[in-house]
Amino acid sequence: MTLRSTNEMAAAASIKAMPKIDLHRHLEGSLRLGTLAQIAREHGIELPMMNSAMNTAQLRPLVQITKNDPANLEHFLSKFEVLRRFYHSDEAIARLTYETIVDAAADNVQYLELRFSPQALARKRGFPLTDVTDWVIEAAHQASRVCDIEIGLIVTLLRHEDVTLAEKVAQIAFARQHKGIVGVDLAGNEVRFPCDPFKHIFAEAHQLGLGITVHAGEAVGGESIRAAIEDLHARRLGHGVRIIDDPYLMEMARERGVVLEMCLLSNIHTGAITHLAEHPAKSLLESGLLVTLNTDDPSVSDSDLSNEYQMGMEQLGLTYSHLRQTVLNAAAAAFLPPAGKTRLTAHFEQRLPRPILGQMPQFQ
C-alpha cells in the first residue's frame, strides 16, 4: 500500500468519524435496496423487468442513478415513481423510516432534519394522510432514542400536485408542530410548476413559527429563488446553486441570512451542475453566504454525507475549515427555537476543534 493510499484511507476514516449535520435528506430517497427487495418479494410487488426472485442488482437501476442514466431533474424524479410502490403497510413505512435514521447515525450524523411527503407515502395503498404522518413520527422518535441522534421532521409539499391536497397535508403538519414536525418544504419539478399557488400555505406556516425551506435555484434561476424568499418566507433554499448567477440575489441572501442547503452529488445527477469542479459551494461559502452540505437522496445517489464531504475536499478544494463552517452554519440554521440553536451550536463547536494549519483532526 502506498503512502498516498494510506493517507487517503486515514482521511476518509476521519471524515466518517467527524460529527455532522444533515438538513436536507428525503426519507423517500434514503431507502435500503435490500429492504426494498425484501418488501417486494414479501408483498408480491410487480415491477418492470423483475421476477419473483428480485434482488438488489435487479432493483438498482429502477430506483438508483447509474452511469447510464441521463443527468436531468425529470429523470432523477422518475426514480420516486418506482419507490412509491414499496410503501405497502404501516410496518413497511415505519421500518423504512427507522432504517433511514439508523443509517444517518452510522455516518455520525448527530442532528438530522428528515423530510417526507405524507401524500407520496399514502397514495399507493390509500392510507389516511394522518396515519402515515403519525407512523413516520413514531418511528423517528424510536430511532432517535435508540441511536442517540436528534431528529427534526419536515413535511414536504409537492409543486406538481393540486394545491387543495397541499392544504390538507399542511394542516396535518401544523397540528403536529409539537410532536416533532419542525418545518415545511416545497419540492418537485421547479421548471414546470411555480410556487405562486402555495403562497397562502407558507404564509400560515410562517405565522405559526414553523421553519420554511423551499427547493429553488436547482433547475431554475433568479425568479424561483426570489419567489421562495420573498413570497414563501423561505429561510433556507434547497440547493440554490443558481444563486451564483445573480449578485443581487446573493446580496439579498447574505443580508437576510438565507441558508443554502447544498447537495453536491445530486446536483450532478439532476443536471443542475455539469461537472463537480464547477459547483459553486466553495465560492459561495467564501463570499460569506451560509452554505451547508447535505445528502438529498443518499440511496438514489448511492452516497452518504461522508462521501459528500470527501468529494468536496477532493474535487472542490474544501478544507477542514470549510467543512467545519458548513456544520456550524447548519447548527445555526436548524429549525429549532433560539435556545435549541444555541445548544446545538455549542455542541458542535465543542466536538469540532478549530483547524490547525488547515489540517483535518483525527476524529475517533
pLDDT at 3: 43
- The region of weakest confidence among 83-87, 282-286, 295-299 is 83-87
Cell of 73: 431533474
CATH code, domain with 26: 3.20.20.140
CB 260 within 8 A of CB 213: no
Cell of 3: 503512502
pLDDT at 359: 76
Number of structural domains (the chain) is 1
Distance CA 124, CA 185 (A): 22
Cell of 141: 422518535
Length of the chain: 364
Q: Which residue of the set 218, 251, 278, 314 is catalytic?
A: 218
- Asked if the structure places residue 338 within a domain, the reply is yes
Encode pLDDT of 122-141 as tens digits.
998 999 999 999 999 999 99
Averaged pLDDT for residues 30-47? 87
pLDDT at 17: 93
2: exposed, middle or buried (Cβ count in 10 Å: 0-12, 13-18, 19+): exposed
Task: Look at residue 4 and tell me whether its pLDDT is greater than 70.
Answer: no
pLDDT at 2: 53
Task: Look at residue 145 and tell me whether its pLDDT is greater than 80.
Answer: yes
Distance CA 54, CA 82 (A): 14
- Asked if the structure places residue 74 within a domain, the reply is no
- Asked if the structure places residue 135 within a domain, the reply is yes
| Better pLDDT: 52 or 222 | 222
pLDDT at 363: 81
| pLDDT interval class at 356 (50, 70, 90) | confident
Distance CA 255, CA 146 (A): 40
| Pairing of β 211-216 and β 259-262 | unpaired
Task: Look at residue 215 and tell me whether its pLDDT is greater than 50.
Answer: yes
Range of the domain at 130: 3-34+88-351
Task: Look at residue 208 and tell me whether its pLDDT is greater than 80.
Answer: yes
SS3 per-residue string spanning the chain = CCHHHHHHHHHHHHHHHCCEEEEEEEHHHCCCHHHHHHHHHHHCCCCCCCCCCCCHHHHHHHHCCCCCCCCCHHHHHHHHHHHHHHCCCHHHHHHHHHHHHHHHHHCCEEEEEEEECHHHHHHCCCCCHHHHHHHHHHHHHHHHHHHCCEEEEEEEEECCCCHHHHHHHHHHHHHCCCCCEEEEEEECCCCCCCCHHHHHHHHHHHHHCCEEEEEECCCCCHHHHHHHHHCCCCCEEEECHHHHHCHHHHHHHHHHCCEEEECHHHHHHCCCCCCHHHCCHHHHHHCCCEEEECCECCCCCCCCHHHHHHHHHHHHCCCHHHHHHHHHHHHHHCCCCHHHHHHHHHHHHHHCCCCECCECCCCC
Averaged pLDDT for residues 141-168? 97
Distance CA 216, CA 113 (A): 18
- Asked if the structure places residue 134 within a domain, the reply is yes
Encode pLDDT of 245-278 as tens digits.
999 999 999 999 999 999 999 999 999 999 999 9
Compute the mean pLDDT over every residue in the chain, rounded to the nearest whole number.
92
Task: Look at residue 52 and tell me whether its pLDDT is greater than 70.
Answer: no
Other CB atoms within 10 A of residue 286 CB? 11
pLDDT at 50: 56
pLDDT at 299: 95
| pLDDT interval class at 357 (50, 70, 90) | confident
- Asked if the structure places residue 39 within a domain, the reply is no
Query: Cell 463547536 appears where?
Result: 349
- Asked if the structure places residue 64 within a domain, the reply is no
Contact partners, residue 211, CB within 8 Å, separation at least 6: 152, 154, 182, 183, 184, 235, 236, 335
Is residue 218 flagged as an active site residue?
Answer: yes
pLDDT at 59: 86
Task: Look at residue 12 and tell me whether its pLDDT is greater than 70.
Answer: yes
- Asked if the structure places residue 81 within a domain, the reply is no
- Asked if the structure places residue 357 within a domain, the reply is no
- The region of weakest confidence among 115-124, 187-196, 303-312 is 187-196
pLDDT at 248: 95
